[in-house]
């Protein structure tokens, strides 16, 4: 997949007292993700072209995608398509990149959400709300062993905007 | 087009009072902010300053104090001549209880077009607030060398 025409819409950086390998593992394994990501299981086939999925506790597909770039433990790019009827057709694919860099004794993790077309602020409110919660909790798991309990609902303005575009929402 | 601003949200397992203390007490700030002391008596209209190892890096005025919910001050970087020429910007901290956590929202706004400090603060705040979160949750702040932030002119 050619990703040259994707432009970053959301960038979030967080520093974690950990190692690049552990951050990589936390981002790509279900065992970790269930702790920090509202019980959701990340499944990643870690090679270019491999399958990527995020499943709910009852194993249904919440997010589906494909591994686009895979350079452990430095960079992972995946398509990140929320499995709601009509979403990819209307919004195009969502591209998510994690960059992991050593920063002294800490690790700098940068999340980039990119799109191949302009996306409204209403719809981007989903990622702007979700990523800080997910990555704050991931940091806590790695540093203290305890995830944060963050009850998170999709923003109303996002659901309303998606509905208006004819995209199926829960 | 969106006005230039920087917004950062993080969730911290602490209380609003402890987070407020960490944001306003120089003993705390030195631990998570590269030795920087936040200096003010935190009364509306009072002066505010950031002092790093004896050097004043930023000055301002306290705008809002609603302990432990909302704090804001003007922010004027004074280390470089180009930054001194810019008008002061505005920093706002919102602290919201969120279950057993606190949701901290930082908004840094009112930049001039082409501001020379916007890039630096956009790279600096995530490191400072990540370190603050670590200090409050694990007791140990992060040791992030400023040179790792990728800010032009920062060694």
Max intra-chain CA distance, chain A: 48
Query: Is pLDDT above 70 for B1?
Result: no
pLDDT band at B2 (very low <50, low <70, confident <90, very high): low
C-alpha distance from B126 to closest chain A C-alpha (Å): 6
Per the CB < 8 Å rule, is B148 touching A108?
yes
pLDDT of residue B20: 98
pLDDT in tens, B86-105: 999 999 999 999 999 999 99
pLDDT in tens, A108-153: 999 999 999 999 999 999 999 999 999 999 999 999 999 998 988 9
How far does CA B120 lie from the centroid of its chain? 12
Give the separation between CA B56 and CA B79, rounded to whole angstroms.
8
| CB of B97 less than 8 A from some CB of A | no
pLDDT of residue A66: 98
Per the CB < 8 Å rule, is B148 touching A139?
no
Vertex B69: Cα angle to B68 and B72 (nearest 5): 100
Query: Is pLDDT above 80 for B154?
Result: no
For the record, the structure tokens of B98 come out as: 């969120």
| CB of B107 less than 8 A from some CB of A | no
Topology adopted by domain A7-164: Alpha-D-Glucose-1,6-Bisphosphate; Chain A, domain 4 (3.30.530)
Per-position pLDDT tens, chain A of length 170: 889 999 999 999 999 999 999 999 999 999 999 999 999 999 999 999 999 999 999 999 999 999 999 999 999 999 999 999 999 999 999 999 999 999 999 999 999 999 999 999 999 999 999 999 999 999 999 999 999 989 889 999 999 999 999 999 88
Mutation choice for A interface testing from B7, B11, B150 by most A CBs within 10 A: B11
pLDDT in tens, B16-75: 999 999 999 999 999 999 999 999 999 999 999 999 999 999 999 999 999 999 999 999
C-alpha distance from A97 to closest chain B C-alpha (Å): 18
Rg (CA), chain B: 15
Helix axis angle, A121-144 to A156-164, nearest 10°: 140
Give the separation between CA B125 and CA B106, rounded to whole angstroms.
9
Residue owning tokens 């706002």: B92
Give the separation between CA B78 and CA B52, rounded to whole angstroms.
12
C-alpha distance from B28 to closest chain A C-alpha (Å): 19
pTM to 2 decimal places: 0.96
- Going from N- to C-terminal start, the domains of chain A cover 7-164
Which residue ranges form the domains of chain B, and what is each CATH number?
6-139 (3.30.530.20)
């Amino acid at each position: 997949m050619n990703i040259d025409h994707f432009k970053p819409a959301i960038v979030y950086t967080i520093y974690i007292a950990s190692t690049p390998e552990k951050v990589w593992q936390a981002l790509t394994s279900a065992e970790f993700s269930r702790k920090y990501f509202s019980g959701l299981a990340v499944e990643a086939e870690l090679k270019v072209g491999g399958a990527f999925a995020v499943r709910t506790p009852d194993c249904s597909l919440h997010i589906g995608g494909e591994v686009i770039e895979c350079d452990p433990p430095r960079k992972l790019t995946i398509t990140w398509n929320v499995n709601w009827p009509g979403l990819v057709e209307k919004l195009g694919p969502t591209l998510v990149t994690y960059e992991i860099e050593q920063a002294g004794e800490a690790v700098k993790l940068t999340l980039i959400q990119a799109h191949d077309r302009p996306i409204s602020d209403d719809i981007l409110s989903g990622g702007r709300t979700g990523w800080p919660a997910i990555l704050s909790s991931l940091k806590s798991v790695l540093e203290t062993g305890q995830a944060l309990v963050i009850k998170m609902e999709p923003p109303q303005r996002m659901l309303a905007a998606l509905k208006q575009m004819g995209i199926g929402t829960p | 087009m969106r006005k230039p601003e920087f917004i950062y949200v993080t969730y911290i397992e602490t209380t609003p009072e402890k987070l407020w203390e960490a944001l306003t007490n120089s003993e705390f700030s030195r631990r998570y902010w590269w030795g920087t002391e936040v200096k003010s008596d935190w009364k509306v209209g009072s002066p505010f300053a950031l002092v790093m190892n004896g050097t004043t890096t930023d000055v301002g005025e306290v705008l809002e104090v609603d302990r432990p919910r909302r704090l804001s001050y003007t922010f004027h970087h004074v280390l470089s001549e180009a930054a001194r020429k810019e008008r002061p910007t505005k920093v706002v901290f919102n602290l919201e209880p969120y279950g057993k956590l606190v949701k901290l929202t930082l908004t840094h706004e009112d930049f001039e077009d082409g501001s020379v400090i916007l890039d630096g603060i956009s790279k600096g705040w995530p490191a400072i607030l990540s370190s603050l979160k670590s200090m409050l949750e694990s007791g140990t702040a992060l040791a992030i060398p400023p040179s790792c932030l990728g800010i032009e002119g920062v060694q």
